[in-house]
A and B are shown apart, each in its own frame.
Chain A
Amino acid sequence: MQANRIETDCLIIGAGPVGLFSVFELGLLDIKCDIIDILDKPGGQCAELYPDKPIYDIPGVPEITGEGLVSSLIKQIEPFNPVFHLSRIVTELKKVDDRWEVKTDFGDTFSTKVIVIAAGGGSFQPKKPPIKDIEDYEDFSVFYSIRDKDKFKDKDIVIAGGGDSALDWVLDLHTSAKSLTLVHRRKEFRAVPDTVNKVQELIESGTINFELGQINQLSGENNKLECVSIKNGDQIKDINCQILLPFFGLTMKLGPVADWGLNLNENLIEVDTEKFETNQNAIFAIGDINTYPGKLKLILCGFHEAALMAQQAHSYIYPDKKITFQYTTSSSSLKKKLGVKS
């Protein structure tokens, strides 16, 4: 944990395509941005869900992959030097004088004039398997992500899943664990081939245990896990353990933003269609996370919203300055900001 205090003009929550493009629109208006994302990379859904899938409805771009769009956007916003703060989620929001103060689970505090929520479908959070009473053990014996692996030392660990996260943690934790059992529904794993090979070797040498099946019951007392039951067809096998680490990928949840006093409509944030501002002054919501009459969840709509939002954001950050509308094609001052020769 780092105790970091950061002063900024504009804090963007969500580094998906719309969050990234808003850096451009805000940058043209001399607004400096810090951008937060829960993932460890920019790109949001484009990077996490469909990096290789083509998108066909970006104006002027007949076909581009999710990854391609993200890397183009990152290039486009380079002149504005946005500061990325990745792998963290916003938690608290507080009004302090005429600024907003936002805390993250990483321990940092942002003091900002303007907040732009561009969080898409919400924050990507680990999927929690619907096993009975699993919540009783969460944060004591069951962990969906790992910040401090020391607490697993000399414990009997069960890791469930067959993807990159599950296998990476098998490789990382097996040397310090008392015992490690990997549970997966099939013999095939989907991860980087080198990782898969290493895990297969650990299984074959008996260094770790592998159980085919799916976890269907937990037992223990006082939040302390003692045993997981693994079901494979009609057979049930019990494994004694103190720690369970399920890795079943990510799902999107609105998260703590839901408690920020913003008007919500079916888990989407209500905004006006002139400024895309929420019911709180200087807090905007753009892209898939917002709702208004006629809303379409398209990346191109998010881009439009970013452009209009930036105009109003400017009035909060530079209350005494008037905006002269300019085109990037012809304005020498905009070209200068973009670092192109006029």
Chain B
Amino acid sequence: MVKVTFIEFDKTEHSIDAEKDTSLMEVAIQNGVPGIDADCGGACACATCHVYVDQNWVDKTGKAEQMEQDMLDFAFDVTDQSRLSCQIKITDDLDGLIVNLPEKQF
């Protein structure tokens, strides 16, 4: 198990033991973390699972690939820490991962 923490816009924290090889989006949905809509179900096609990766974890989660960058154009208030959580795969390296959620997935 890999521990990941979602921090809502209002600072509410959700620490979850995530299963390896699932996506961070799936972890959020399966555990009822509010603030991740995932309209398209993980197809990298809607930009409603936008998260901000904690600065200390940006290197480990890596950068968004081309398709994800394109999709992030449809998210709001995108920063260098922005990722779509459906494209982050849970691995052992991410044990302790912290991501912040936007005010809303619009």
Q: Which residues of A are at the interface with B, using a C-beta cutoff of 8 A? A: 45, 49-50, 53, 121, 127-130, 161-163, 184-186, 188, 190, 214, 216, 248-249, 251-252
Contact = CB atoms under 8 A, between A and B. Distances in A.
A252 B106 CA distance: 10
Given A49-B39, A130-B103, A249 B78 contact: no
B76 A129 contact: yes
Looking at chain B's contact residues, the main secondary structure is loop
Nearest to B103: A130
Shortest Cβ-Cβ A-B pairs, 7 listed: A249-B74, A190-B70, A50-B43, A49-B45, A49-B40, A162-B73, A53-B43
B100 interface: no
Contacts, number: 56
24 contacts: A49-B40, A49-B46, A50-B45, A121-B39, A129-B106, A130-B76, A130-B77, A130-B103, A130-B104, A163-B73, A186-B69, A188-B69, A190-B73, A214-B77, A214-B78, A248-B73, A248-B74, A248-B75, A248-B76, A249-B46, A249-B47, A249-B73, A251-B39, A252-B39
Contacts of A50: 40, 43, 45
B85 interface: no
Contacts of A161: 73-74
Interface size class of B (residues with CB under 8 A): 10 to 19
A48 to B, nearest CB: 8
Nearest to A121: B39
B45 A185 contact: no
Interface of B: 39-40, 43, 45-48, 69-70, 72-78, 103-104, 106
Contacts of A214: 76-78
Contacts of B43: 49-50, 53
B78 A185 contact: yes
Given A185-B73, A190-B70, A214-B77, 20 more contacts: A45-B40, A53-B45, A121-B39, A128-B106, A129-B76, A130-B77, A130-B106, A186-B69, A188-B70, A190-B73, A214-B76, A214-B78, A248-B73, A248-B74, A248-B75, A248-B76, A248-B106, A249-B74, A251-B39, A251-B48
A186 B80 CA distance: 11
